[in-house]
Each structure stands twice: as structure tokens, then as C-alpha cells.
Chain A
Amino acid sequence: MGKTGNRKPKRINEVMETELMEDVKSTVGRKEAVTGTSKGKLCRDSIRSGGEGKRGGEGERKQEKEPDKEKKPKEEKIPGSCRNIRLSFQRTVQILSAAIFNGYVAGFAQGKIFTGKAKGLCVPVLNCYSCPGALGACPIGALQTALGAGHHIPFYVLGFMLLFGVVLGRVVCGLLCPFGLVQDLLHKIPLPKYSVPKKIDRPARYLKYFILLFLVILLPAFLVDDTGVTPPLFCKYICPAGTLEGGLFHMAANAVLRGLAGILFYWKLILLIVVVLASTMIPRPFCRYLCPLGAFYSLFRRFAFFSMHLEETKCIGCKKCEGACPMAVEVTKNINSAECIRCGKCREVCPTGAITYRKK
């Protein structure tokens, strides 16, 4: 049985091969069939190896289909499996930077904050220094403190901010900021998404410059109360990052602090809830309208080392980039807008690869 079984397929193969050659001649063309170009070879090889399919065309089709079949199991989604999570470059960097800037794990366990010397250094992001994990100082908080308590030019903090601004610019917002990561994740929640009308969006974006100028710089510098110390007004009345990273944790962990919570805490909590809800529907509302650090870094858009580049010859004007931009930048008109946070989403969706990161 085994022998006959072996002989029959051989004969069938021979017949099929001749059939195939005829088929190939009629469809692909004589030249290719005679010279044995890639298609002809593929068909012959497929039949010789397994004798699959009666016609060469089918064999060829199966050859093409096989890789798909091989791919399919890899793409299969198993609910709850970690294998399906593919992190983008942006998300990977965001998670890593959030972990590094808030790397004091013992703080979360003990309900205390880090008090080492590294707290004397400013981090490039808006990361509250009252967060139990924070290893460095928030530049906006440090700037307000230096202006409000010391009433002098804060060379040290300004030095850090200028350095980060010129070297990184708004790359900080797009790739490093932990609160940016929080907003991005919130926006992944499947709720209705809205785009803010330009009439409201454009003037509202100036709000962050107003906050930077008045609440962060001018008022702390020139407003003096009875104690001679001006509190950090932005941190005190607005910053939702402080409420989220520091406030909620300390309130939960410390009964004494919980007892002290008053109108101010509830005001900040409402503000945080508003930002959280807005983040689910609008991409990065805090970065767009409120963040004074983003406003400061946006001043460096012309001088920062990293910028985006649009190759106009490759651009086909499909505007997929503008649809993907979380900051609603008109990428095709002004790719290095002050609002661009260099997150690279436009680069990811560009079908022609016209958008690249550029180091000036």
C-alpha cells in the first residue's frame, strides 16, 4: 500500500505540472514560462513539494495565502492577554519617564515624600514635588516659591527651565510629562470625542500664557501679604497635577491632613474632575489651555534642538496628520507650531513618510 501510495502522487504530479505549465503560458505569458521566471518557478515548486491544488493558479494563490495564515494566529486577540499590548514609542517613553521621575517607591508604601538631595534639582516636567514618589522638584512650583518667598531673580530655576526649553522644548510635553500620560490614557476611554470649535479653541489657548505671566511670575514676584511670602498661586488654586499626584494620596494616607481639607481642596478636586472628564472627550485639555510649563516651552519652538519636518514633495495633502494630532495643529500649514508637543502621532499616520523628526 505504501509503495502504490507513493507512485500515484508522482504521476499526478507530473500531469499537474504539465497542466500548470500550460496554464502559466496562457496567463503569465510565454516568455516567463519558457525562461522559468519567479512565478513559473513558484508554481512548479509548490506542486513538487506537496502536490497541493490541481491548477498552478491555485497553488500560486495558496502560496500567497500561506503567509497570511501564518500571520493570523499571531494577530489573534486573546482577551486579557498582555501579549496583545503593543506600546508605541511615545507611550514607552512616557511610562519610563513617569517611573523615573516618580521612582521613590518607598514613599507610596510609607505615605511619605522623598527628602533626599535630588529634590534640590528641577525635573523638566510638571510633576508635583509633593507626590510620594517624586525624586525632583517641579520647575513651576520652584519658580513660584523662589519669586514669592525670596523675591529675587530665580537664577537657578530659570537656568534649568531655559536649559530644558532649548534642548528639549515641547518634546517634554509629548514624551516625558506624567500628567500628559494621564490625559492620553484618559482619552483612550471609549466615550464620545469632541473637537473644540476654532472660535473657542484659539483664544482659549492664550489662557496658559496668561497663567504663566500672572499667576506664576508677576503676582508671586510683586504681591506681598502680611507674612511677606506669596504662596505659589498656580499650585494653590489651579494645578490638577498636584491634586492628583499629591493631594489625593496624602488625603487618603493621612487622617490629620484629611481633617484640614476645606473649600480649597474641594475647589481643586472639582477642577481635577473637570480636567479628567474633559480629557476623556478632548485630547490633552490641560496641555492646551492651562499648563504654564507648556506655555514656557512653547516659547522655544524656533530654537529647540528637536523639531518636526514636513517634506512638501512627499506630502499628498491627505491631512491624516491633522486628524491624528492631539493638539489640533495644522500640520500641513505650520508643523512646528507653538502648540506642537512633538508626540510624533502625525509621523505615525503619514502614509508617505513625509513627516520626520529633525535635529537642527
Chain B
Amino acid sequence: MGNRKKREGNFPVRIVRAAVLLAAVAFLMVGILQREYLEVLQKAARICLECIGIG
């Protein structure tokens, strides 16, 4: 009984976690298809003047 209750208690958590995990993978796929990684690379591969306090 206790185990069943625990499983029922975890049930929505597991669903939400699976949904978030799926969303994360889907977002990543969409981002890669839209070549958003180039945008990230472009910013990260140069010295970020804002980050170091020059603006």
C-alpha cells in the first residue's frame, strides 16, 4: 500500500520530468536546425566587453 502511494505520489512528477526532458531535447533540435549555435559561438568566441566591464 505504502509503495503504491509513493508511486502515485511520484506519478505527476515523473510525467512533468519526462515532459520537460522532451521539451529540452525538442528545443535543442529546433535550435540546431535554426543554426542558433552559430549565434552563441559568435558571441562566445570574442571577448565580451560588457562581461569584463568595458561596455
Do A156 and B52 touch across chains, with their CB atoms under 8 A apart? no
Is A149's beta carbon under 8 Å from chain B? yes
Residues of B within 8 A of A155 (CB): 27-28, 30-31, 34, 36
**Chain A residue at minimal CB-CB distance from B20:** A166
Do A163 and B24 touch across chains, with their CB atoms under 8 A apart? yes
Is A159's beta carbon under 8 Å from chain B? yes
- CB B21 to nearest CB in A, in angstroms, measures 5
Do B13 and A242 touch across chains, with their CB atoms under 8 A apart? no
Is A137's beta carbon under 8 Å from chain B? yes
Q: Is the interface of B mostly helix, strand, loop or mixed?
A: helix
A162/B24 contact (C-beta < 8 A), A137-B43, A154-B36 known: yes
| A121–B53 CA distance with the chains assembled, in angstroms | 24
- CB A242 to nearest CB in B, in angstroms, measures 4
Is B40's beta carbon under 8 Å from chain A? yes
| A303–B21 CA distance with the chains assembled, in angstroms | 10
Residues of B within 8 A of A136 (CB): 44
A154/B31 contact (C-beta < 8 A), A142-B43, A303-B13 known: yes
Do A166 and B17 touch across chains, with their CB atoms under 8 A apart? yes
In this complex, how many residues of chain B approach chain A with their Cβ under 8 Å: the count is 35
**Chain B residue at minimal CB-CB distance from A237:** B50
Task: Pick the contact of B54: A157, A158, A262 (CB < 8 A).
Answer: A262
- CB A132 to nearest CB in B, in angstroms, measures 9
Is A183's beta carbon under 8 Å from chain B? no
A141/B28 contact (C-beta < 8 A), A146-B36, A166-B17 known: no
Identify which of A2-10, A204-212, A228-236, A313-321 touches chain B. Answer: A228-236
Do B40 and A146 touch across chains, with their CB atoms under 8 A apart? yes
Do B48 and A235 touch across chains, with their CB atoms under 8 A apart? yes
Is A93's beta carbon under 8 Å from chain B? no
| A121–B41 CA distance with the chains assembled, in angstroms | 8
- CB B1 to nearest CB in A, in angstroms, measures 18
| A149–B39 CA distance with the chains assembled, in angstroms | 9
| A157–B38 CA distance with the chains assembled, in angstroms | 12
Is A117's beta carbon under 8 Å from chain B? yes
Do A261 and B53 touch across chains, with their CB atoms under 8 A apart? yes
Q: B6-37 vs A: 1/0 string, CB under 8 Å?
A: 00001001001100110111111111101011
A250/B52 contact (C-beta < 8 A), A156-B37, A160-B28 known: yes
A residues 140-175 in Cβ contact with B at 8 Å: 141-142, 145-146, 149-150, 154-160, 162-163, 165-167
Residues of B within 8 A of A116 (CB): 45
Do A142 and B55 touch across chains, with their CB atoms under 8 A apart? no
A264/B55 contact (C-beta < 8 A), A115-B45, A149-B39, A166-B17 known: yes
Do B54 and A260 touch across chains, with their CB atoms under 8 A apart? yes
**Chain A residue at minimal CB-CB distance from B16:** A303
Residues of B within 8 A of A113 (CB): 45-47
Is A108's beta carbon under 8 Å from chain B? no
Identify which of A69-77, A122-130, A281-289 touches chain B. Answer: A122-130
- CB B5 to nearest CB in A, in angstroms, measures 16
Residues of A within 8 A of B47 (CB): 113, 130, 246, 250, 257
- CB A213 to nearest CB in B, in angstroms, measures 19
Which residues of A come within 8 Å of B, CB atoms?
113-117, 119-122, 128-130, 134, 136-138, 141-142, 145-146, 149-150, 154-160, 162-163, 165-167, 231-232, 235-236, 239, 242-243, 246-247, 250-251, 257, 260-262, 264-265, 267-269, 300, 302-303, 305, 360
Q: A137-B41, A156-B37, A305-B17 are in contact. List 10 more A-B contacts (CB 8 A).
A: A119-B45, A130-B52, A137-B43, A141-B48, A146-B39, A156-B31, A160-B24, A163-B21, A246-B51, A262-B54
What are 6 sample pairs from A and B whose C-beta atoms fall under 8 A apart?
A: A120-B44, A128-B51, A156-B31, A166-B20, A300-B20, A303-B17
